């Protein structure tokens, strides 16, 4: 190409002569040929310049890489070794406390709300509660698994209980996730929170009265997250129905189901929020509650609805320096069935109850947090059949008022002081407690 | 307008989003880098701002929603985000950005990390066994991350691969010129002695030849204590350091307190893009860091 153009120019130059018209066209041709040459060389020069720049870049990068690795031990290799050190990740959480009650906690109960599951006051005096051993890891490229074993002392004997043992999908498309095994139900806000991340030493009254502290069961959970900037999560669960507020594995072991939805977002750079609704439908067969040795036994349906709201604030979202968390939940429960009182015949029981709590926790400076909480319950009266029993409605709504202060040396250690004025039990009670929560080993990131 | 229609018709969103690569960056420097390379072909979002301590972030619903829609996630790594990123990933149900996939990238994997100790004892405080994660304070690390980031973008969005390739080449060319200029400008800083609040600046110190003589935190990650500060006051009452450096999100009181008692200048350096009025992109970030250091060094 280039050769032919050059030849054409040379030939034209040599032949030279011709008419004026021919000369005109010759000039045109020459001009075109020169232009073509110029643009061709421009392109070649640009290409050479680009190659030069790349070569320079590579040389500089090599120089920087050499400078960087100078005097360094094999840092990257050491880091990789650290990452591969433990699989599965293992963590242990230590919790213990000392509590003082002005009344005997063995006599504690709330009129109209016989407790089931794990609910009830903590042990008096010094105790260590549950020590949790946590193992988790990815199973393969499509599943991840989690195990929590709770180690506790019951009447001086060590017991190990499988608290959570679940497998969750990681590879489903379209924002879907499925969890199966034994897990804390996704209803409410606090239900799926581990006790070591609670802001108070005990659960609020509606959790104690309606969920046996926390609803934990065997089953399947499906969650879907909408592909929107506003956080929208929808979930459903089918559960065995083995534990309070269900019982007896009704419907051939598909005893309970639940539905929940959460939305959330940010407001400016300082605040974020989460709001949700949930519904839990239980069937109970011979569900015990109240006194362990002389239980009340319920058969029937137990339905629980709830709404929740959480607001978190910190200046510029810089959580470590200062923050405030407000949260509140409201529960409705409707139970329809019959109760068998100790030594008696079944009595028709149809009662609607509500429970709620509101709390605020403020961290004014790093390490220190201060919080207050109010929680309460209310109940319809089940009727004259239940007069003078534990199920008759309380004369005034059960209420509690709690305050706490805690100090965390790091995110792995926490010491807490709590004061509770309990006007829910048979006699008003003043309760003081100190608590520690410490963890070693791997520690999972906390959800919002 | 188009975006608001997409939000309304979120069920059809995959169609709307196909035009762009959605990039979720844990820190502003990686969002800025992705924008430099991808230009208008990428939508970048930074989970944190320069005014937040990236160790302590709430796994907020808004962040989960962003991870849910991300095609590519880039974070500093080396356990900087260990307190919150796993919670986001667990809730977001997005297989495209899980560790091990092409859409998950830890920037610190592509640089030589300082202080990688392997296993650590937590009595030493908030030490990262995989090395110091604040790698963005050395611009050569930005260059080292740019290339693999550009390659990920090309792999995830092959239609725009040519644009990413030329975006990457343009950026690197400008970046290396800028590094040369910064190095020339910062020559007088060599050997300057720095007291830092947290070990956030080790890469900057290695790059510019600064000497770190003390930290305000007695134990990394734990707030400075009164005893440690009074010990530092004694140690530096005759001088012995050129500046006390903190990041915008760190408590001002410890460094101001020490500065009052020792006469050593306390300065705030932007740790990332957005950390000062001047630091609006990667280039102006280092311009501003150097300006502030030089000003303090020359007692201006």
Q: What is the pLDDT of residue A447?
A: 86
Which of B87, B130, B143 is opposite residue A447, by nearest beta carbon? B87
Tokens standing for residue B190:
């060599």
In a domain, A79, yes or no: no
Q: What value does the mean pLDDT take over residues A422-430?
A: 88
Q: What is the pLDDT of residue B32?
A: 95
Asked if A261 and A351 sit in the same domain, the reply is yes
Q: What is the pLDDT of residue A434?
A: 96
Q: What is the pLDDT of residue A169?
A: 95
Q: What is the pLDDT of residue A60?
A: 57
Indicate whether B54 pLDDT > 80.
yes
Q: How many domains does chain A have?
A: 2
B233 touches chain A (CB under 8 A): no
Asked if A340 and A197 sit in the same domain, the reply is yes
Q: What value does the mean pLDDT take over residues A203-221?
A: 94
Calpha distance A323→A326 (Å, rounded) = 10
Q: With CA atoms as reference, report the closest residue to B113 among A353, A80, A48.
A: A80
Separation in Å, CA of A135 to nearest CA in chain B: 15
Answer yes or no: same fold for B2-181 and B183-297: yes
Encode pLDDT of B188-234 as tens digits: 999 999 999 998 999 999 999 999 999 999 888 888 888 999 888 88
Q: What is the pLDDT of residue B14?
A: 44
When pLDDT is cut at 50, 70 and 90, the band that residue A61 belongs to is low
In a domain, A433, yes or no: yes
Q: What is the pLDDT of residue A153?
A: 82
Residue A72 or residue B264, greater confidence? B264
Tokens standing for residue A246:
């269900």
Asked if A135 and A213 sit in the same domain, the reply is yes
B246 touches chain A (CB under 8 A): no
Q: What is the pLDDT of residue B11?
A: 44
Which of A37, A69, A101 represents a domain boundary (last residue)?
Answer: A69
When pLDDT is cut at 50, 70 and 90, the band that residue B271 belongs to is very high
Q: What value does the mean pLDDT take over residues B240-244?
A: 90
Asked if A96 and A36 sit in the same domain, the reply is no
In a domain, A82, yes or no: no
Q: What is the pLDDT of residue B23?
A: 95
How many CA atoms lie within 13 Å of A307's alpha carbon, on the beta-carbon side? 0
Calpha distance A224→A365 (Å, rounded) = 37
Q: What is the pLDDT of residue A62?
A: 59
Indicate whether A265 pLDDT > 60.
yes
Cis? peptide before A392, omega within 30° of 0? no
Separation in Å, CA of A415 to nearest CA in chain B: 16
Q: What is the pLDDT of residue B6?
A: 45
A100 touches chain B (CB under 8 A): no
A224 touches chain B (CB under 8 A): yes
Residue with tokens 């004694």: B234
What CATH number does the domain located at B183-297 have? 3.40.50.1980
Calpha distance A299→A185 (Å, rounded) = 22
Highest mean pLDDT among A22-26, A82-86, B260-264, B279-283: B279-283
Q: Give me the residue spans of the domains in chain B.
A: 2-181, 183-297
The CA angle B214-B219-B220, to the nearest 5 degrees, is 85
Indicate whether B267 pLDDT > 60.
yes
In a domain, A74, yes or no: no
Asked if A112 and A65 sit in the same domain, the reply is no
Tokens standing for residue B289:
């860091």
Residue with tokens 């996730």: A177
- What percentage of chain A carries pLDDT values higher than 90? 53
Indicate whether A348 pLDDT > 80.
yes
B243 touches chain A (CB under 8 A): no
Query: In this structure, are residues B51 and B31 in contact, taking their beta carbons and an 8 Å threshold?
Result: no
Q: What is the pLDDT of residue A210?
A: 94
Indicate whether A253 pLDDT > 80.
yes
Asked if A258 and A400 sit in the same domain, the reply is yes
Least confident range of A113-122, A346-355, B76-85, B240-249: A113-122
Q: What value does the mean pLDDT take over residues A97-125?
A: 87
A412 touches chain B (CB under 8 A): yes
Contact A228/B52, CB-based, under 8 Å?
no
Q: Which runs of consecutive H residues, i.e. helices, occur in A212-278?
A: 250-253
Q: What value does the mean pLDDT take over residues A190-214?
A: 93
Asked if A35 and A173 sit in the same domain, the reply is no
Tokens standing for residue A388:
């003078």
Q: What is the pLDDT of residue B195?
A: 93
Per residue, the 3-state secondary structure of A344-372, as one string, reads: CCEEEEEEEEEEEEEEEEEEEECCEEEEE
A295 touches chain B (CB under 8 A): no
Indicate whether B19 pLDDT > 50.
no
Asked if A393 and A311 sit in the same domain, the reply is yes
Residue B148 or residue A79, greater confidence? B148
A66 touches chain B (CB under 8 A): no
Asked if A13 and A132 sit in the same domain, the reply is no
Indicate whether B4 pLDDT > 90.
no
Query: In this structure, are residues A160 and A132 in contact, taking their beta carbons and an 8 Å threshold?
Result: no
Q: How many CB atoms lie within 10 A of CB A339?
A: 26
Separation in Å, CA of A271 to nearest CA in chain B: 10
Tokens standing for residue A321:
């320096």
Indicate whether B257 pLDDT > 50.
yes
When pLDDT is cut at 50, 70 and 90, the band that residue A77 belongs to is very low
Q: With CA atoms as reference, report the closest residue to A274 among B283, B72, B58.
A: B58
Asked if A247 and A303 sit in the same domain, the reply is yes
Which of B87, B93, B95 is opposite residue A446, by nearest beta carbon? B87
CATH class of B2-181: alpha beta
List the domain range (segments joined by +) for residue A257. Answer: 91-441
Encode pLDDT of A9-24 as tens digits: 444 444 444 566 777 8
Residue A343 or residue A19, greater confidence? A343
Q: How many CB atoms lie within 10 A of CB A380?
A: 14
Contact A227/B69, CB-based, under 8 Å?
yes
Q: What value does the mean pLDDT take over residues A168-190?
A: 95
Encode pLDDT of A373-421 as tens digits: 999 999 998 888 888 888 888 888 999 999 999 999 988 999 999 999 9
B20 touches chain A (CB under 8 A): no
In a domain, A84, yes or no: no
In a domain, A393, yes or no: yes
- What percentage of chain A carries pLDDT values higher than 70? 87
In a domain, A357, yes or no: yes
Q: What value does the mean pLDDT take over residues A248-263?
A: 90
Instruction: State pTM to two decimals.
Output: 0.82
In a domain, A75, yes or no: no
When pLDDT is cut at 50, 70 and 90, the band that residue A76 belongs to is very low
Q: What is the pLDDT of residue B81?
A: 92
Encode pLDDT of B157-179 as tens digits: 999 999 999 999 999 999 999 99
How high does pLDDT run on average in chain A? 85
Contact A61/B83, CB-based, under 8 Å?
no
Q: What is the pLDDT of residue A68?
A: 47
Encode pLDDT of A353-373 as tens digits: 999 999 999 999 989 999 999
ipTM of the complex: 0.81
Asked if A64 and A151 sit in the same domain, the reply is no
Q: What value does the mean pLDDT take over residues B242-267?
A: 91
Q: What is the CATH number of the domain that holds A311?
A: 2.40.160.10
When pLDDT is cut at 50, 70 and 90, the band that residue A53 belongs to is low
Q: What is the pLDDT of residue B12?
A: 43
B 51-90 residues with CB below 8 A of A? 51-53, 55-62, 64-66, 68-69, 78, 82-88, 90
- What percentage of chain B carries pLDDT values higher than 90? 67
């Amino acid at each position: 190409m280039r050769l032919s153009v050059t030849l054409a120019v040379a030939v034209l130059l040599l032949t030279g002569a011709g008419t004026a018209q021919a000369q005109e066209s010759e000039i045109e041709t020459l001009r075109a040929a020169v232009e073509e040459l110029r643009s061709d060389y421009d392109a070649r020069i640009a290409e050479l310049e680009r190659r030069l720049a790349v070569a320079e870049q590579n040389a500089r990068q090599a120089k920087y890489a050499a400078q960087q690795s100078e005097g360094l031990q094999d840092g990257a290799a050491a880091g990789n070794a650290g990452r591969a050190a433990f699989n599965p990740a293992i963590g242990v959480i230590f919790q213990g406390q000392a509590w003082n009650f002005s009344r005997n906690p063995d006599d504690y109960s709330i009129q109209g709300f016989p407790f089931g599951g794990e609910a009830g006051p903590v042990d008096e005096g010094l105790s260590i509660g549950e020590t949790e051993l946590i193992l988790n890891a990815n199973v393969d490229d499509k599943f991840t698994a989690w195990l929590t074993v709770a180690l506790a002392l019951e009447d001086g004997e060590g017991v190990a209980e499988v608290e959570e043992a679940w497998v969750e999908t990681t590879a489903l498309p379209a924002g879907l996730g499925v969890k199966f095994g034994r897990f804390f139900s996704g209803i409410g806000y606090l239900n799926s929170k581990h006790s070591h991340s609670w802001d108070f030493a005990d659960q609020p009254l509606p959790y104690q009265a309606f969920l046996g502290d926390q609803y934990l069961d065997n089953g399947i959970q499906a969650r879907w997250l909408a592909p929107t900037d506003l956080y929208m999560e929808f979930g459903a669960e089918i559960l065995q129905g083995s534990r309070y507020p269900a019982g007896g594995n009704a419907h051939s072991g598909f005893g309970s189901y639940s539905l929940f939805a959460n939305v959330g977002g940010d407001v400016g750079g300082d605040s974020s929020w989460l709001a949700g609704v949930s519904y839990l439908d239980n069937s109970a067969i011979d569900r015990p509650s109240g006194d362990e040795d002389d239980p009340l036994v319920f058969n029937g349906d137990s339905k629980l609805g709830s709404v929740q709201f959480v607001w978190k604030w910190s200046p510029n979202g810089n959580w470590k320096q200062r923050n405030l968390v407000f949260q509140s939940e409201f529960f409705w429960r409707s139970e329809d069935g019959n109760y068998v009182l100790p030594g008696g015949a079944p009595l028709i029981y149809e009662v609607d109850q509500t429970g709620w709590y509101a709390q605020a926790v403020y961290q004014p400076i790093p390490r220190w947090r201060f919080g207050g909480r109010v929680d309460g319950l209310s109940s319809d009266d089940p009727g004259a059949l239940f007069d003078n029993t534990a199920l008759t409605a309380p004369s005034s709504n059960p209420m509690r008022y709690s305050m706490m202060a805690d100090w965390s040396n790091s995110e792995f250690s926490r010491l807490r002081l709590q004061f509770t004025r309990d006007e829910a039990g048979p006699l008003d009670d003043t309760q003081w407690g100190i608590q520690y929560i410490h963890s070693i080993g791997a520690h999972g990131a906390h959800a919002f | 307008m188009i975006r608001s229609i997409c939000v309304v018709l979120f069920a059809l969103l995959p169609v709307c989003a196909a035009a762009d690569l959605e990039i979720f960056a844990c820190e502003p420097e990686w969002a800025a880098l992705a924008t430099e390379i991808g230009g208008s072909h990428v939508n970048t979002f930074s989970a944190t701002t320069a005014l937040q301590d990236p160790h302590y972030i709430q796994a907020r619903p808004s962040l989960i929603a962003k991870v849910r829609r991300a095609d590519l996630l880039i974070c500093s790594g080396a356990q900087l985000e260990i307190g919150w990123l796993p919670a986001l990933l667990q809730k977001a149900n997005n297989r495209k950005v899980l560790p091990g996939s092409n859409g998950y990238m830890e920037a610190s994997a592509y640089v030589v990390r300082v202080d990688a100790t392997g296993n650590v004892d937590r009595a030493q405080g908030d030490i990262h066994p995989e090395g110091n994660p604040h790698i963005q304070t050395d611009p050569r690390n930005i260059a080292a991350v740019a290339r693999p980031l550009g390659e990920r973008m090309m792999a995830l969005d092959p239609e725009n691969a040519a644009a990413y390739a030329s975006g990457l080449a343009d950026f690197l060319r400008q970046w290396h010129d800028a590094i040369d200029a910064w190095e020339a400008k910062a020559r007088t800083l060599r050997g300057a002695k720095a007291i830092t609040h947290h070990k956030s600046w080790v890469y900057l110190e290695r790059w510019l030849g600064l000497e770190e003589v003390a930290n305000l935190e007695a134990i990394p990650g734990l707030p400075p204590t009164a005893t440690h500060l009074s010990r530092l006051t004694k140690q530096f009452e005759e001088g012995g350091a050129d500046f006390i450096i903190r990041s915008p999100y760190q408590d001002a009181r410890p460094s101001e307190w020490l500065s009052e008692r020792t006469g050593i200048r306390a300065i705030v350096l932007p740790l990332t893009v957005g950390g000062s009025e001047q630091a609006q992109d990667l280039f102006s970030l280092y311009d501003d860091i150097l300006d502030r250091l030089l000003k303090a060094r020359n007692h201006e």
